[in-house]
Amino acid sequence: MTIKNRIKSLLKNKAATTLIENFLSLSLLQVAGYIFPLITLPYLARVIGIDKFGEIAFASAVIIYFETLVNFGFNYTAIRDIAKNRDNIVFMSKVFSTVMAARIILMLISLMVLEICILTIPFFYDNRLILWLTFLYIPGNIMFPEWFFQAVEQMKYITIINVISKLLFTVLVFFVIKEKSDYIYQPLLVSLGFFVSGIIAIIIIRKKFHIQFSYPSIEDIFLAIKGSANMFIVLFLPNLYTNFSTILLRSYGGEIITGIYSSGYRFISLVDSLSLVLSRTFYPFLARRIDKHSLFVKIGFSLSVLASLFLFFGADLLVNIFYTKEFTDSATVIKIMAISPFFLFLMNTYGANYLVLVGAESIFRNIVIFCSLGGFILSWIIVPKYGFMGAAITITIVWGIRGFLTWLYVRRYNNRMTNNI
């Protein structure tokens, strides 16, 4: 069969075209989330400086703990449940309502915990304004139920809205942030973008998909939270070494060292996000067709190797393009972590996109617990001594161990299942 005929055959396959459409939509959505900030990077680097970059990175590292608590793994469990029941509007409405209510309750709990931290920890109190403004990202994120569109494999609607919204608020950066003290408006503009996108998204969910919001019972909310507990652990515990490393850097090294690390790590996050795009595109599809997992492996492996080569050989060029001279050391962070895309490929491909889907969440959870606790200890040892390089080394090592352990346990799991047949 010629390449032309293969393409025609592929386009006639509804499942394949849906995957391609969702991959392109998710890619555009994720790229917009990083490309638009990259557009403003040279301007912000010149106006607010590396020290304020460090403050923003510190606040983001703290708030991500609360964001993970509020998400509570619903962006995996709810997608899985809806993907298997897409023809049942009543069921979908119940899941949507329950998840939204649960996330609002968890947000209120998070806000109370943040206030306690601000009132009891002097370091948090001194940075309370940037922490409060960054926390606004969470209600905006709740209002933007990207997970629902992923579950029904209809990402095109939300992608258009989100890209337009991000473009608008990216432009506003150049008009709002004029001097160093204006750095506090950066997280505010990001949050406003999510609010605007979220309002439009809710309207589409109501009008296009006919989802009805109802008030779920306390029992339904409790069961939803209980059912997502394993995924919450999987998503929350890595913060013990990822975002905690940033907090340690801020405590021991100050804003400048934190700014160097976070500006380099930003490009690793971009590649991580693109890896997640592929993972999330296939997730609802694999929930129905796990027999196609080998195809996902081949695609993910190829892209991860290309991404690693690009990061290592392009580190200096990326820093020269997007930052000023005071960010030069950020290239070292990128080079140290250049192997990370391959480790992320192992983690995503054999973790959430396999073990979770075959009902082996407990294995996945245990791997994450082991690696996260090890990473937490390692970060205490390495980060205070080696600064931004220590943070980069810590995360890379832990990702490598977690990736290979996940791959190894999947092999053992499959062998055990084969022997039991």
- pLDDT the model gives residue 293: 82
The mean per-residue pLDDT over the stretch 220-235 comes to 84
> What is the chain's Cα-based Rg?
21
pLDDT for residue 179 is more than 70: yes
- pLDDT the model gives residue 242: 73
User: Half-sphere exposure of residue 7, counting CA atoms within 13 Å on the CB side?
Assistant: 3
Q: pLDDT for 133-155, tens place per residue?
A: 889 888 888 888 878 887 777 77
Q: For residues 221 and 231, what is the distance between their CA atoms, to the nearest angstrom?
A: 16
Q: For residues 246 and 391, what is the distance between their CA atoms, to the nearest angstrom?
A: 7
Q: Which of 1-5, 179-183, 412-416 has the lowest mean pLDDT?
A: 1-5
Instruction: Tell me the pLDDT band of 31, cut-offs 50, 70 and 90.
Output: low
Going by C-beta distance under 8 Å and a sequence separation of 6 or more, which residues neighbour residue 140?
191, 192, 193, 194, 195, 198
pLDDT for residue 8 is more than 60: no
**Nearest alpha-carbon partner for 73 in 238, 274, 297:** 238
Q: For residues 357 and 271, what is the distance between their CA atoms, to the nearest angstrom?
A: 24
Instruction: Tell me the pLDDT band of 19, cut-offs 50, 70 and 90.
Output: low
The mean per-residue pLDDT over the stretch 317-329 comes to 81
Q: For residues 333 and 318, what is the distance between their CA atoms, to the nearest angstrom?
A: 12
Reported pTM:
0.66
Number of structural domains (the chain) is 1
CA diameter of the chain? 69
Q: What are phi and psi of 356, to 5 degrees?
A: -65, -40
Domain interval for residue 120: 3-420
